[in-house]
Amino acid sequence: MGKILRVNMSDRVARLEELPEKYSLLGGRALTSQIVFDEVPPDCNPLGPFNKLVIAPGLLSGTTAPSSGRLSVGGKSPLTGGIKEANAGGVTSQKLASLGIKAVIIEGRPSTDDWYLVKVSAAGADLIPANDLAGKGTYEVTTVLLERYGKEVGIITIGPAGEMLMATAGVTNNDNDGNSSRYAGRGGLGAVMGSKHVKAIVVDTVEHFGARVKDVEQFRAAARIFTECLRKHPITGNGLAAYGTDILMNIVNEIGALPTRNFHSGHFDQAREVSGEKLAEVAVARGGKATHSCMPGCVMHCSNIYPMPDGKVCAPIEYETAWALGPNLENANLDIVAKLNYICNDVGLDTIETGCTLGVLMDAGVLPFGDGEAAVKVLEEVGKATPLGRIIGSGSVCAGKVFGITHVPAAKGQGMPGYDPRACKGNGVTYATSPMGADHTAGYAVTANILRSGGYVDPLKSDGQVELSRNLQIATAAIDSTGLCLFVAFAVLDDPEALPAIIAMLNAQYGLQMTAEDVTKLGQQVLRTEREFNRLAGFTGADDSLPEFFVLEEFPPHNTRFDIDAKELSQVFNF
């Protein structure tokens, strides 16, 4: 059945509990969102004692299912005020699953200002004083804990931004090489962890693939089929494997959907300078890696290791980060992108939200577009807790209010990723309607809008976008619950063997007889739960919308507007 590790910070007690039967077939996002719905008052203060941080491996995590080690982190978001699930690669999901831990719930709040570390192993769980780690960046904390507890442990931690309860703070964990930059970055969940005064969680086991599987032979057979599906697909087996996620930079730029200069244009003349091809060239020349596995058992290897001129290593620079800290700021210097990325990783900030916030500050004239050194200088203020640093750590909507800027690319309080909704309208529907706020991973319409995976829906036209987003949001909620990487969706959409192989792995592991219809129902139930939490938190249909400038302003080079109206958007969740 598995266990729940419940950490009560008010009593400073960590204990293992039997997993309730109703959670037995839930994992990842399905489990974090259900526990948040069941245990967190929707109207509570996200940084108060009644919110909870829930961390869960996926249903397939801890097994040899390829690319199945994603970690879900959930809670009520300090950034959006609604329910949130953010997920990351790294080693800790598989290690938790190998220990039989289905979820970690951190609740309450200590009465003192002391900091703590949670250590979990096969022997149980302990709460350990950690004042010596307070104020330290994630890189130093991870190095210290790997030396203290051994190179094989998994480490979940927050940076100073989380300690300072900044609404854009993320939760990070380490990868196979000990790099501490596998972020569940979105929605400010690092601030929730910080509000509990938990600086780190150490998962002490050498196991990555120790989760129980009922029918091992059936599982292995299905895993082999699914691995082959991923390896033979042109995106997961070729494009991502050669240049990582930043291969998207030139593609998105060429079709005119690359948000440039704070979403004022869709084309950046120097995009190639921060592209995946350029990144691979520079990284390899400096002794880094063009591609890299972010978690054990990954067959796509879409991450990277980028050595910087100062000798430090940034691992990884993903497309969203390269875009947010590059074209979005009119910055074409890859080393500046890496430096900004490194600062975000160390202090513990979401790179997408940080890029959006810096773009708003540039629109306000606080610093000039294209001035990467100025961006580095102001970003360094976050760790110093200056007034401007705190504004940056509070996100793009806050920055817009402070400086009187209405051109703020955000939905439900969360900054938008690197696809403009006027030139990739399926993603626009997802940004507007997802319970998570502006989140491309919630319903990645880039599949059909740009990459023509799973069919083609013209990204510049409104027709078909609602149905596309609806289907992808349902599918994504289910994938997020398995612990599989979102990018497996390409194979699932295009290869008739892929989805049956996933279902066969689930059936073999748990002794089930699931069908494709059951997977769809799982995704639908996750979305219903999340939307109901948001409704109880005060969200209405009016929140399923985009800022009005997307409707009013033409977006070059296509001169399109976001023209999917509220009535159409209200149909997304008709299931």
- Same domain for 111 and 9? yes
CATH number at residue 326: 1.10.569.10
Q: Does residue 380 sit in the same domain as residue 479? A: no
Q: What is the DSSP letter of 560?
A: B
Give the strand pairing for 180-184 and 171-174: antiparallel
The reply to whether 210 falls in a domain is no
Same domain, 174 and 76: yes
Q: Are strands 83-88 and 313-314 parallel, antiparallel or unpaired?
A: unpaired
Choosing from 372, 390, 419, the residue where a domain stops is 419
Q: Residue count of the chain, please give it.
A: 575
In a domain, 313, yes or no: yes
Looking at the structure, do residues 189 and 43 belong to the same domain, yes or no?
yes
Q: How far apart are CA 244 and CA 64, in angstroms?
A: 22
Instruction: Judge whether 517 lies within some domain.
Output: yes
The alpha carbons of the chain give a radius of gyration, in whole angstroms, of 21
Q: Say if residues 150 and 336 touch (Cβ distance below 8 Å).
A: no
Chain mean pLDDT for the chain: 97
Q: To the nearest whole percent, how much of the chain has pLDDT over 90?
A: 99
Tell me: do 277 and 411 sit in the same domain. yes
Phi-psi region of 288 (alpha: psi -120 to 50; beta: other; left: phi over 0): beta
Please tell me whether the peptide bond between 327 and the residue prior to it is cis, using omega within 30 degrees of 0.
Answer: no
Whole-angstrom Cα distance, residue 366 to residue 498?
49
140 plus 278 within the same structural domain: no
Asked if omega into 316 is within 30° of 0 (cis), the reply is yes
Task: Please provide the DSSP assignment of 127-186 as one string.
Answer: EEE-GGGTT--HHHHHHHHHHHH-TT-EEEE--HHHHTT-TTB-EEEE-TT--EEEEE-G
Mean per-residue pLDDT, 360-365: 98
Closest Cα to residue 31, out of 60, 6, 56?
56
Listed residue (113, 67, 194) closest to 505, CA to CA: 67
Tens of pLDDT along 282-317?
Answer: 999 999 999 999 999 999 999 999 999 999 999 999
Residue with tokens 């704070």: 262
For residue 99, how many C-alpha atoms fall within 13 Å in the half-sphere facing its CB? 29
pLDDT band, very low/low/confident/very high, at 179 (cuts 50, 70, 90):
confident
How many C-beta atoms surround the C-beta of residue 558 within 10 A? 17
Tokens of 318: 């993903």
Are 77 and 176 found together in one domain?
A: yes
Given a contact cutoff of 8 angstroms between Cβ atoms, the answer to whether 66 and 223 are in contact is: yes
Domains held by the chain: number: 3
Boundary-marking domain end, from 374, 393, 419: 419
Say if residue 268 is in the same domain as residue 381: yes
SS3 content of the chain, % helix, strand, coil (to 5): 45, 15, 40
CA separation for the pair 507, 452 (Å, rounded)? 31
- pLDDT confidence bin for 526, thresholds 50/70/90: very high
- Quick check: 106 pLDDT over 90? yes
415 and 426 part of one domain: no
CB atoms within 10 A of CB 536: 14
Indicate if 66 and 14 belong to the same structural domain.
Answer: yes
Helix orientation angle between 396-403 and 387-394, rounded to the nearest 10 degrees: 130
Last residue of a domain, one of 365, 390, 419: 419
Q: Residue 1: is its pLDDT beyond 80?
A: no
Phi, psi (deg, nearest 5) at residue 190: -65, -30
CATH number of the domain bearing residue 509? 1.10.599.10
Cα dist from 252 to 27, 261, 271, 329, 350, whole Å: 33, 15, 10, 16, 22
3-state secondary structure of 257: coil
- Verify that 190 and 282 share a domain, yes or no: no
| 237 is a domain residue | yes
Higher pLDDT, 179 or 312: 312
CA 175, CA 71: separation in Å to the nearest integer? 12
Q: What is the pLDDT at residue 365?
A: 98
Residue 209 lies in a domain: no
Within-domain flag for 377: yes
Query: Distance between CA 144 and CA 138 in Å, rounded?
Result: 10
**Domain with 298 in it:** 246-419
Residue 83 has pLDDT above 80, yes or no: yes
Looking at residue 176, what is its pLDDT? 86
394-422 pLDDT per residue, tens: 999 999 999 999 999 999 999 999 999 99
pLDDT digits (tens, 9 = 90+) for 548-567: 999 999 999 999 999 999 99
Q: Is residue 152 part of a domain?
A: yes
Kindly report, residue by residue over 214-267, the tens digit of the pLDDT.
999 999 999 999 999 999 999 999 999 999 999 999 999 999 999 999 999 999
Quote the CA–CA distance of 502 and 504 in Å, as a whole number. Answer: 5
Q: Are residues 348 and 449 in the same domain?
A: no
Burial tier of 113 (Cβ tally within 10 Å: 0-12, 13-18, 19+): exposed
> What would the pLDDT profile of 335-358 be if each residue is shown by its tens digit?
999 999 999 999 999 999 999 999
